[in-house]
Structures are given as C-alpha cells and as structure tokens.
Amino acid sequence: MVAKIRKTLQESRTARWIVLILASFGMATNYYFYDALAPLADLIRMNLGFSSSEYGFFVSAYSIPNVFLAMAVLGGIILDRIGIRITGFSFIFLMAAGGTITAYGASDYFLSGGFGYNFMNSFWTSYSPALKMMSLGFFVFGLGAETSIVVLSKVIVKWFKGKELALALGLNLAIGRLGAALAFTLSPRLIYPEWTTAIWFGALLLWLGLVAFVVYMLMDIKIDRQVKIDISDPEDEFRWKDLKDLVTNRSVIYITLLCVTFYSAVFPFLKFAPDLLMNKFSMPRVLAGDVTSYLMYGTILLTPLFGWITDNKGKSATLMYLGSGLLIIAHLMFALTYIEPRIPIVLLGIAFSLVPAAMWPAVTKIVRESKLGTAYGFMFSVQNIGLWAFPLLIGLVLDASNPFYRSEIDEGQFNNVQASEMYYTGSYTDRKGDPNQNMSIHINTTVFEDSISGNIAWRETHMVTTDSHGEFRIQLGHGDVISNVDFSRLNQDIGYRTEIIISRRNEDLLIFDDPFIADSRSSADDEQFFTGEIGPQHQHLFESTVRGQIFLYDENSGEKVWQEGARFYIERDGSFEIPMGYGRLAFADPRYFGLHEGSYEAEIIKPLDYTNAMLIFSLLGFAGFLFAFLLKREDKTSGYGLEKPNKEGSS
C-alpha cells in the first residue's frame, strides 16, 4: 500500500503541474517587481526629486549583492547546504521585504517623518532619505531575487527530472517574462489614486509569491516523506579551481563579454525605455508602457522558435552575430531618428530572443560538462557587473545631457503668471543651450504650496510645439492632461450640485442629483468626504460596490467644476461615502481651486534628451557585435561546432 502511494505521488502529473504553476508564479512576481518601477521614472523624479543619476543609482542597487557579495556563488552554496525549502522561503521573504521597503521609502508616511526617516537623514545628507530607503529596499530585493531564481529552477528540476523537464523550464521562463511584460502594462494603470499604488501592488505580489512557495513547501514535505528524489548535480557546483582554465579559454572570454555587453544593452535600457518613449516621442504613460512590453511578449513567442532552430539547424554563432547587429540598429534608431518607436522595440525583441537562444546552449559546446556550473556562475557574475554599472552610467549621462530640463518658478514669478491670466512662456534648449526649434514636446507642470517640494496643489501635462526660437507658451491650470489636484482646496464659499452617473449593462444611469456638502474630517491631510443617500428607486444597487463618474457643477453658473471616476459602496439603507480627489481625475476647473490667488511656487519639467544615453547602448551593441565576430572566428580554429545543430543527426 505504501509503495502504491509513493508511486502515485511521484508520477502524479497533476502534482507536478501544480508545482510548476506555484514556482512560475513566484518567478513572475520576481520579474514583475524588477520592472514595475520603470514606467514610473518621471514620477519618481517629480515626486521624490531624484535626478537621473540618482534614479540610476537606485536601479543599480539591485545588482550590488551579486557584484560585491558574490551572491551568484554564495546563494548556490547555501542552497546546497540547507536545501530548497529553507533557502527558498528565506530568499523569497527577502524579496518581499525588499519590495515593501522600496514602496515604503516612496510613501507619504515615510516622507512626512515616519519610521526610519530621521536615521536615513542622518548620514550622506547630500542624498535624500527617500533615495537611501528605496535603494536599501531594492538592494534587499536583489539579495533575495537572484538566489530565488536558482531555487525555483531547482524546484522544477526536482519534480520534472526524467519527465517533461525541458518543457517545464521553458514554461517557467516564459511565465517569468510574462510577469515582466505585465509590469510595463499594469504599472502605468495603477498610479491612481496615488502613484505609489503601483509600487505597493508589486510588493503585494511578492508576498503572494511567498504564500505560493509556502503551499509548495507543504507539498514538498509530503512527497519527501514518501519518496527520495535525487537532484544532486555536480556539474552545477561553482569550482574556484576551474576558473583558471576558463579565463584562459578565448572562446569563454568572448562569449562572456558578449553576455555582459548584450544584457547591459537590454536590461538597463528597459529601466529607461518608458521614460524615453514619453520624453522623445511624447507618448502617454500607458501607451509607453504597452509599447515597451512588446519586447517581452516577443521573447515569449520567439525564444522557443530560435531555440528550435539552433537545436535542429545550428548556426548559433551566426544567430549571436545577427542578434548583436539588430541591437545596434535598434539603439541607433532611438538615438538618431524619430522613426515609429515600435519598429526598434520589435527589433530589440527579436535580438533579445536570438542571442540568449543561441548563447546559452553554445556554452555547453565550449565547456566540458564537469565545468558547466563554474562557467555559468562565472558568466552570471560578470554579467551582473554590467547590470550594476550601466544604470549608473546612463543616469550620469542623462544628467550631463540635460542641464536645462527643469525650471523653477518662485513665488514672485508665480505672481507674474497669476497677473497674466496664468500664462507662462518658457524655452526648451539642448545641453549646449541652443534652442530646440519647431519640436512637439510634453511639458509637465507641478504647482506647490509655499515652496518647491511642498504640498502639491496641481499637476498637469501640456502638449506644445516650440517656435523658431525654441520657446513655448502654456496656461497653467489648463493642461491637456490634469493628473493631480488637491481637492481640499476647493472653494467652499460657492454652492455646488452633484451628479453621480454609473454605467450598468451598457447604459448610463443617473443615481444622484443633489447639492454637494463636503465633510471635512480632522486629519493631517484635511481630506474631503462626500456623503449622500440614493433613493429607493435604485434599491437594486443597495449593498453593492459600483463604479461611476462624479460631477460637480457651480449652482449659480451651471459650469462643470470637477469630474472624477470612483468606486464606492452603497449601504443597505442607500447611503454612501466617497473620499473626494482619490479617483481617476477627468476634469478640474482651476478657478475654483485658488490658483489665481495665493502664494505658490511651480516646477516646469521639459523632455529629457536621450540621444547620448542611447548612443551608449549602441556602443554596447557594437562591442557585442565585435565579440560575436571574434567568437565565430575562434570557432573555426577551435572546432567547437557552434554552427552545427545541437541535436545529433540534425542538419
């Protein structure tokens, strides 16, 4: 009976695929959080005051554990010593804790003097507490993330060894990259009601990934009691004594340098890609995230195809050569042209599918099986040096290339703007101070109470075209997109009428039309709540959550003052309560929010010039192309057979 139970559990397809789902979900949450902040780069700069170099420092904090603490090596040793379950739980916990610290560092609670703020403000005072706290969080996340990838891969090997292992590992990677793609798609849509909502959502996913791993642990404990599965693989061990042989092998050096230059031209680029699309191509944030995600979606589809080609047709060296060439072309398109940006993104997706599909199997031809673990560990460690260094470099290059992208309007200047019916004239120049003529650009404007970096009263985006002198004119309070308004500043001396319209079954239903009465609670934020009651004719909506549009109209003139979309709950008696200013803002009339009088300062942020930064990525592509060429030439003399099929008997 015991033998029968053991056999059933060991051979259970259902159990194996449940494990695959749990492990892949954990992988996807890892990939998701790693890329979730990329579409928020401009919001990080505007809300937290980060420079581009500080943003690059924050991004690079992820790779510090692998560069300076050798976690690529130590994580494997820890995994071998204490096993999958304890190692996995510990490092996935570090991931979740790091994600939470990162989100906390951007939160209003921390920025207003919450726990840890004074400590973070006590050293390196030239850097903001938010930068230090968020970098600490991303460091802790990176500390757990890379070892977690190894652990989750081992989980799949343990349960699928001798069965559908290649398929399971391929699906695991595909689901992980799906997580990265969703980060670019979802983060821009999660910035309401607060922009940090997108970061907190990513942190929540990491905790759900930990819960999924706990579920896996329960299954794993049960099967370990019933059957012993041997996953020991001496080839995976990192051997210091083998390094000498590797670093004297020219093919290993060439493929390692190709690895570091290629991945440094892709992953750091993705950290800046949505911001590039918003700045150079004036794309809305959501569209910029969607377009960036095409790269990841493409790899999910194309990497298996190119893997099949290398297995059955060969040409690994040629494919690496081709992929590096596409990388150069794509980055030069971004640097020097205004071509439709989806074209270079698609080219990058093809390159990012070609090179990994050919490179990693090629290592097995260059290095003996007994040294594969050492070779992969060596390549991975060198790769992380690039992932650490190049975000820092790109941030520094962006700052040096854009000394005039941010303009401050002090209180006296803002008084002049108020006196001129809120019109402001500015200029958009390059790093040399020369005007950018006849260029369509986005201008982000933030109005602060009292001082720059004070409470935000108003935030908007203008789409304008510079003139022959590089100048533009905007009217503050009348942006093409209004993204943030402090509702508590609404003039309460005027009477307002409220309409609430919800959409039900493809029809708009007016459920409330009465005077607006604000309920100001005693709180640090002086939040405004609107309470009301729906009539009995809408009783079918009682005790349910609805989504609707809230309109405020001036009772005297009938002009629309405010519109936002919100979700709210209707109680059993028809009453409801809505916190105003926390939904998706659709319209606000600045005349009712005091912008025309009072003391304010403002910040005008013009587009960043990404030309030099993209040329850096192009140079990485040229370097990778050179190493691919040298690798292909070396293969002709060394006879590793990189151009031959991976499968024996294929042609």
| Model pLDDT for residues 88-145, shown as the tens digit of each residue | 899 999 999 999 999 999 998 999 899 999 999 999 988 999 999 999 999 999 999 9
Report the predicted TM-score, pTM, of the whole model to 2 decimal places. Answer: 0.84
Confidence of residue 202 (pLDDT cuts 50, 70, 90): very high
Mean local confidence (pLDDT), 204-220: 92
Give the number of C-alpha atoms closer than 13 A to the C-alpha of residue 138, restricted to the C-beta side. Answer: 26
Assign residue 299 a region (left: φ > 0; alpha: ψ between -120 and 50; beta: otherwise).
Answer: alpha
Angle (deg, nearest 10), helices 13-36 and 165-186: 30
Q: Where are the alpha helices (DSSP H) in 112-196?
A: 117-120, 129-160, 165-186
8 A C-beta contact, residue 448 and residue 603? yes
- Reported confidence tier of residue 9, pLDDT bands at 50, 70, 90: very low
C-alpha distances out from residue 150 to 256, 376, 388, 607, Å: 20, 12, 19, 40
Give the chain's mean pLDDT: 86
> What pLDDT score was predicted for residue 524?
45
Contact 553, 560 (CB under 8 A): yes
* Strand 584-588 to 560-570 pairing: antiparallel
12-44 pLDDT per residue, tens:
778 888 888 999 999 999 999 999 999 999 999
Average pLDDT over residues 203-222: 91
Domain ranges, ordered by start, for the chain:
1-232, 239-402+608-651, 406-486+599-604, 488-592
The answer to whether 41 and 55 have CB atoms below 8 angstroms apart is: yes
* Crossing angle between the packed helical segments 71-82 and 372-401, to the nearest 10 degrees: 140
Q: Decide which of 3.90.550.10, 3.40.190.10, 1.20.1250.20, 3.40.50.300 is the CATH code for 239-402+608-651.
A: 1.20.1250.20
Architecture in CATH of 1-232: Up-down Bundle (1.20)
**What gap in Å lies between CA 490 and CA 25, rounded to an integer?**
45
Specify which residues 62 forms β-bridges with: none
- The answer to whether residue 11 scores a pLDDT higher than 70 is no
Give the DSSP H/E element, type plus range, for residue 47: helix 41-48
For 212, the token pair is 């999924």
The Cα-based distances of 530 to 120, 165, 247, 515 in angstroms read: 38, 57, 69, 10
pLDDT higher than 80, residue 650: no
pLDDT of residue 349: 93
DSSP per position, 206-265: HHHHHHHHHHHHHHHHHHHHH-------GGGS--GGGHHHHHT-HHHHHHHHHHHHHHHT
Closest CA to 138 of 187, 112, 105, 182: 105
Q: Report the distance separating Cα 528 and Cα 522, nearest Å.
A: 10
Tell me: the pLDDT tens digits for 301-315? 888 888 778 877 878
User: Which residues sit opposite 440 in a β-bridge?
Assistant: 465
- Average pLDDT score over residue span 545-571: 93
Sign of CA dihedral 302, 295, 33, 386: positive
pLDDT digits (tens, 9 = 90+) for 404-418: 888 999 999 999 999
